[in-house]
Amino acid sequence: MRVAYTEQLSDLTGELAAMCGLAEVAMQRATQALLQADLALAEQVIGENDRIDDMRLQCEEKAFALLALQSPVAGDLRIVVSGIHIVADVERMGQLALHVAKIARRRHPAHVLPEDVRGYFAEMGKVAVTQAARTREVLLSRDLDEAAALETGDEPMDDLHKHLFSVMMDSDWPHGVAAAVDMTLLGRFYERYADHAVEVARRVVFLVTGKLPEPGTPELTGVTPTGV
């Protein structure tokens, strides 16, 4: 009985990591669709978003079943409760990638991005995908040092977002209001994607230690996991 229960907990973690992998691929493809005005890639991201939604429902059902039927305590309870929070963050990452793809599709066959800001979004996409990959690894490894690094890993995204905003607010911005609106929305989508990856890292710290770190905690090395 205990073996089956342990396997269910492990399956929940594995499904959360797999769901994060789908969100990672979705943002990678959405960014390519945005940079290349690739309608087929945008449609692929939009069409496959249901897979993330389906996995969210599966993870939630599994977590609530564990709560109802197994009455987990201590460390096991943290796994289940953290899973419920994590699934919401990862699902939102998938939705944000979906929003990027929809903007690429809406503007097709035109390029959404003016040439002088394309580099910003190429880099923001790279940071977002890297964050998602690290999030997936942290979910599986529960490595506190890596979770701490991930929590501050969105700083490059914040810097890029600020620089992008300063470019758009320049009085010499030549691309008009519609382009500025698209850039503002897209910048926000990438920033929030990274924020949700950070939140997952914080939940992993709670899962291991029983304590949620304060936002922006610079160092978690030496935090001792609580007993199970």
Q: Domains plus CATH for the chain? A: 2-209 (1.20.58.220)
Task: Please give the share of the chain, as a percent, with pLDDT higher than 70.
Answer: 92
pLDDT at 76: 86
**Residue 116 burial by Cβ neighbours in a 10 Å radius (0-12, 13-18, 19+):** exposed
Judged against a pLDDT cut of 50, whether residue 223 lies above it is answered with no
User: Quick check: 133 and 24 in contact, CB under 8 A?
Assistant: yes
Query: What sign does the dihedral 136-122-183-30 (CA atoms) show?
Result: negative
DSSP state string for 81-93: HHHHHHHHHHHHH
- Give the pLDDT band (50/70/90) at residue 216: low
66 alpha-carbon distance from chain centroid: 25
The confidence score (pLDDT) of residue 211 equals 79
pLDDT for 58-115, tens place per residue? 999 988 888 887 777 787 888 888 899 999 999 999 999 999 999 999 999 999 999 9
Does residue 7 carry a pLDDT above 80?
yes
pTM, two decimal places: 0.88
Q: From CA 175, how far away is CA 158, in angstroms rounded?
A: 23
Output the six-digit token pair for 186: 């897209």
CA distance 203 to 189: 21
The per-residue pLDDT for range 140-186, each reduced to its tens digit, is 999 989 988 887 778 899 999 999 988 888 878 898 888 989 999 99
Tokens of 3: 């073996």
Q: Which helix (H) or strand (E) holds 14?
A: helix 2-36
